Amino acid sequence: MKVFHIVGARPNFMKAAPVIDAIHAFPEAKQSLVHTGQHYDANMSQIFFDQLGMPRPDYNLEVGSGSHARQTAEIMVRFEDVISANTPDLVLVYGDVNSTIATALVASKAGIRVGHVEAGLRSWDRTMPEEINRVLTDQISDYFFTPSEDADENVRREGIGANNIFRVGNVMIDTLVKLLDKAREPKMAGRQERFILVTLHRPSNVDDPATLGQLLATLNRLSKDIQIIFPIHPRTRRRLEEFKLSEVGANVLLTDPFGYLEFLWLQQHAVAVVTDSGGIQEETTYLQIPCLTMRENTERPITAEIGTNILVGKDTVRLGKEIQNVLDGRGKKGTVPALWDGKAGQRIAEILARL
């Protein structure tokens, strides 16, 4: 079997790494890594290949940034050239970014089987571009590798046969488990022992100046009680500059994005994490760190149902109250979902061997 793995954005790297590693146990499988270049900044891309021990891409499409339509179209055109020259038996796509739907669509139309790793996640919010990507990718995939029971139910509800659905667990947790002991403290001037870690990048939070300004004002207020560490996503940095919102309190540390090992250390040692990222909701649940998610919904409801995650939406007043609960020792406790045990990649490799 000739397998193509598709990565393009930061979350894909953590999901693909354990699957690539596990498939090495089956020498009859030939693997190729295709990097679309959706994330091209060194802090968002290259450092992850280094820290995760991933092989260098066999193909780099180098699409760069652009609107959803332009970026998706460019990936499709360039990926079609790749598979025309070297046709795989199976294309494995990961998550819900533009690279996921673009390459799945090209492969499906070319008659190549598609496996979707992290299939079945739903937020039920079609205003999120990622939700469109998730739903459409599942409709054109052949094999569905799901992280949890709710994901199984979602794809079954949408007409997918049970024989092609495989609950394997969470591949992101594989990477976390493997590298937890290697997490390293980032070099930062002025970091205090107790801090809250913040990541924000979704359009709903950063593309509107009033919303972003209110979030920054809230972080400034909170920083009077505890330090805030805020690694800035490139999109968020552009918006801060565009909206002229660069003024923050002395106890708010704005930094460049960290590598995976450094960010993992910060998650481990944070008092709490404030985020709008899907993957961080999962990682904090595994690490048992309180997570406050600045979204009205989540495609990972299990992190809120049994994990440490709380959805606060855009309610900055509630955000302040929940953080005060954490500081008072009343933060949310949770449990780790079934099959989030570091062996999801191995399960996928064994299923592919049978197929």
Is residue 297 located within the same domain as residue 213?
yes
Is residue 146 located within the same domain as residue 12?
yes
Residue 45 has what pLDDT? 64
Is residue 54 located within the same domain as residue 166?
yes
Considering the domain boundaries, does residue 279 fall inside one?
yes
Please, how many CA atoms are within 13 Å of residue 69, restricted to the half-sphere of its CB?
0
Number of domains in the chain: 2
Q: Which residues contact 98 (CB under 8 A, 6 or more apart)?
A: 8, 9, 38, 68, 71, 72, 75, 129, 133
Tell me, what CATH number does 28's domain have?
Answer: 3.40.50.2000
Can you say whether the dihedral through the CA atoms of 260, 261, 263, 268 is positive or negative? positive
Distances (CA, A) of 304 to 128, 155, 299, 300: 19, 20, 10, 8
Is residue 279 located within the same domain as residue 347?
no
Considering the domain boundaries, does residue 262 fall inside one?
no
Residue 110 has what pLDDT? 98
pLDDT tens figures, 170-224: 999 999 999 999 999 999 999 999 999 999 999 999 999 999 999 999 999 999 9
Confidence grade of residue 48 (pLDDT, cut at 50, 70, 90): confident
Note down the domain range covering 76.
2-180+340-354
Tokens for 316?
A: 């900055």
Is residue 53 located within the same domain as residue 194?
no
DSSP readout, 11-76? HHHHHHHHHHHHHTT-TT-EEEEEE--SS-STTTTHHHHHHHTPPPPSEE----S--HHHHHHHHH
Is pLDDT above 90 for 43?
no
Is residue 309 located within the same domain as residue 176?
no
Which residue in 143, 171, 177 sits closest to 19, CA to CA? 171
Residue 40 has what pLDDT? 67
* Residue type for position 92: L
Confidence grade of residue 10 (pLDDT, cut at 50, 70, 90): confident
Is residue 23 located within the same domain as residue 166?
yes
Mean pLDDT score, 224-242: 93
Is residue 6 located within the same domain as residue 143?
yes
Average pLDDT, rounded, for the chain: 94
Which residue in 339, 15, 338, 336 sits closest to 175, CA to CA? 15
Considering the domain boundaries, does residue 105 fall inside one?
yes
Considering the domain boundaries, does residue 265 fall inside one?
no
Considering the domain boundaries, does residue 248 fall inside one?
yes
Distances (CA, A) of 128 to 75, 96, 152, 204: 20, 11, 21, 9
Is residue 349 located within the same domain as residue 300?
no
Is residue 175 located within the same domain as residue 37?
yes
* Residue type for position 140: I
Is residue 200 located within the same domain as residue 129?
no
Considering the domain boundaries, does residue 232 fall inside one?
yes
pLDDT tens figures, 154-172: 999 999 999 999 999 999 9
Considering the domain boundaries, does residue 212 fall inside one?
yes
DSSP code of residue 211: H
**Gap between the Cα atoms of 233 and 231, Å rounded:** 7
Task: Point out the residues that are catalytic.
Answer: 201
Name which of 63-67, 307-311, 317-321, 323-327 the model is least confident about. Answer: 63-67
Residue 49 has what pLDDT? 78
Higher pLDDT, 42 or 236: 236
Considering the domain boundaries, does residue 36 fall inside one?
yes
Which residue in 164, 65, 71 sits closest to 119, CA to CA? 164
Is residue 167 located within the same domain as residue 312?
no
pTM (global) more than 0.75: yes
